[in-house]
Structure 1
Amino acid sequence: MERFASTRAKAEHALKRALLTIEEDSGGELKPSMTLKQLGKRFLETRRELGRSEGTIETYGYAVTAHITPRVGDLSVAEATPERLQSFLTTVEKESGPGAAKNCRSTLSGMLALAVRNGALAHNPVRELERITQRKQRASTAIPLEELSEFLKKVRNDADLKRWDTVELIEFMLHSGWRVAEVCALTADSVDFAKGTASVEAINVRVKGKGIVRQEFPKTEKSARTTPLPPAAVTLLKDRHERLKPNTNLLFPTPLMRLRDPSNTQREIRDRRDALGYPTLSTHAFRKTVATILDKAGLSATEIADYLGHENPSMTQDVYMNTLKGAGKAAQIMGQQLKGLI
């Protein structure tokens, strides 16, 4: 094998590249000479074929189109060495932040794992890269129980939150501990008003080119759960259904009766948190508040995780069998603690 170029250095580089990308006929469908741009496209196709959520595919797709393809897309699979990939991720972190760099690292790991499975690489070079440390952000904190009455009074008197129809959404989150995307996707069909339960069966997500869609499965397997609700929460949902059913089956739509965007809802609360007197307030604060109330009431970590729908791989089968019992106790406690407030 030989290669020619205008200089010795260029010729040596061309020869080394050719030697690296020698392909055997017995290899898989992916080859060492395939570019990362081509591999990224194939990777996204496999994610769709595997039925990954639109949100997950969009996250991977952004890393491929916004960062990987423009910067290292012309590199072949064989040229994707740890040194080159580390330099790429360092640049992304400096220019776009650690979040973007972590997303690119995860996407590259999946792409090159696909190459390994198809015989184009012997091992995944991403395993040798430095871990990216996310900078700690100012975290939201639970609302102290003794402040809940005054907090809810401020929420109910806030003109913007009333105009956005966000007040009762906050009240329901404080009762249920649901994630905001779960609340935004809730329909009357998922509520058993007689039994006093609501089931997490979907979440709202934003998909590029489609807008807000109701994804017919929740965030994780453990997120799919049936939550026993305190009576006040059931009454809140029943009243909303009676009021909204001529226009929609959704229980927390936008004022225009459309699917509610979880990100917009979070932004609404951020916009008003200083006025409410809670500068770190977010929708996650409501889940923390529920967890704090249940913890102080003596529930175990397992029972609290069951109520909130936390994923916990260490849970045993016996724990799962006791899920409904633990959630029922949690609902009773929430009803007692919030009685008269909501």
Structure 2
Amino acid sequence: MTCYFASAAQGRIKNVLDGIRRDNPTIAAETLRGIRACISGLMQVGVDHDVLPVNPVASVRKIEGGSKRAAHAYDEAELTDFLAKVDADKKAVRADLPDLVRFLFGTGCRFGEGLAVRWYDLNLTDEAKIVIAPDGKRVKLPPHSVFFNGNLVVVKGKGVVRHEGKTASSRGIVSLPDFLYELLLLRAPVMATAGAGTLEPVFPSGTLGWRHPSNVQRSVRRLRLRIGYPDFTTHVGRKTVATVLAEGGQSSRQIADQLRQSSIQTTEKHYIERGILNPGAAKLINASHNSGS
């Protein structure tokens, strides 16, 4: 163990961080700083046990860049072109990406939340229905809406697991734009269209279970290079929804509710260029999709 610590010189650590950035050109500065902090913590253990005289990470130049790499919102022309290219990509179709991508652009949800949506969480009927939240509370789900209440994570030894969501404020109801409602009707099993729903995922894996987030992200990275949109990430839909709503005159509070964020400041800082239903949002999002078609 001592030899491993002793070989961790400043130059070697710098080369590791530079290599990560080189191999992952879109990595956020915040993520890279987190990696640097982890290495620093390990090196400090060596210092505390008299294996190293000083922490070599302290001499590595600070990582510059914003706290978060800003996602680029697509305008109407970009969105129309992007979706057309996704639809025309045979590998994307085989990987069931077109519908998932539209779901992200239609709701502004987080990637893991989209993969965690079950038919039970959707109301595709014209009448309100009652669903049970993870905490046992009864939730009234309006017609043509989705109740976000979970996320997918990978747990060592267990694989892909659905948990209750990023935070309590991330759980909430979002109205479905017409184009997305119609898309989901075509995908839905009979029980879901009748209002009963099932606990099966809306966007399942090939074995009809939960899709592995890393596998989907890998497919997305390959897709964006094939179709000429290297800047696309699964967060672009969220950014685009926020921008569409801002340009449509909605307040920061309304946009934060659509994105299910408790902080207006976070919405304004990261998304504009809490789980409360925002009915006007669906109309604005739907209009942004139909205007380019």
CA RMSD of aligned residues (A): 3.7
Match of 1:288 in 2: 239
Report if the CA contact (8 A) 2:76-2:292 is conserved: no
Post-superposition offset of 1:263: 2.4
What is residue 238 of structure 1 aligned with on the other side? 185
1:192 is aligned to 123
Partner of 2:140: none
Aligned to 1:121: none
Compared CA separation, residues 298 and 202, structure 1 to 2 (3 A):
same
In structure 1, how many angstroms separate the alpha carbons of the residues matched to 2:41 and 2:254? 32
Are 1:151 and 2:88 counterparts?
no
TM value normalised by structure 2: 0.67
Q: How many residues were matched structurally?
A: 233
After superposition, residues 257-276 of structure 1 pair within 5 angstroms as 257-276=208-227
CA contact (8 A) 2:109 2:259 kept: yes
Alignment partners' CA distance in 2, 1:307 and 1:236: 20
8 Å CA contact 2:224–2:231 kept in 1: the answer is yes
Q: 2:160 aligns with which of 212, 219, 230?
A: 212
Equivalent residue of 2:160, what SS? Answer: strand
Q: Secondary structure at the match of 1:338?
A: helix
Q: Which protein has the larger Cα radius of gyration, Structure 1 or Structure 2?
A: 1
Q: TM-score, normalised by structure 1?
A: 0.58
Q: Which runs of 5+ in 1 are unaligned?
A: 1-66, 73-87, 109-128
Deviations 1:203-235 (A, max 9, x none): 1111112111111x1112221111111122222
1:126 corresponds to:
none
Q: Is the 8 A contact 1:179 1:284 kept in 2?
A: yes
Contact 1:222 1:310 in 2 (8 A): yes
Q: Give yes or no for the alignment of 1:310 onto 2:261.
A: yes
Q: 1:96 to 1:199 in 2, by over 3 A?
A: farther
1:162 aligns with 2:82: no
Residue aligning to 1:32: none
Q: Is the 8 A contact 1:220 1:311 kept in 2?
A: no
Partner deviation per Cα, 1:55-102 (whole Å, 9 max, x = no partner)? xxxxxxxxxxxx9xx869xxxxxxxxxxxxxxx997996365343233
Structure with greater helix share of residues: 1
The answer for the alignment partner of 2:289 in structure 1 is 338
Counterpart-to-counterpart distance in 2, 1:211 and 1:198: 26
**How do 1:33-112 and structure 2 match up within 5 A?**
94=14, 96-97=16-17, 98=32, 99-103=34-38
More strand by share: 2
Equivalent residue letter for 1:197: S
Q: CA deviation at 1:183?
A: 0.7
Looking at both structures, which has the greater relative contact order when contacts are Cα pairs under 8 Å and sequence separation is at least 6? Answer: 2
Relative to 1, partners in 2 of residues 1:218 and 1:105: Cα closer, same or farther, differing over 3 Å? farther
In structure 1, the partner of 2:150 is 202
Q: Counterpart of 1:205 in 2: which secondary structure? A: strand
> Which whole-Å CA distance do the structure 2 matches of 1:154 and 1:291 have between them?
23
Separation of aligned partners in 2, 1:90 and 1:205: 34
Over 3 Å counting, the alpha-carbon distance change for 1:307 and 1:218 in structure 2 is same
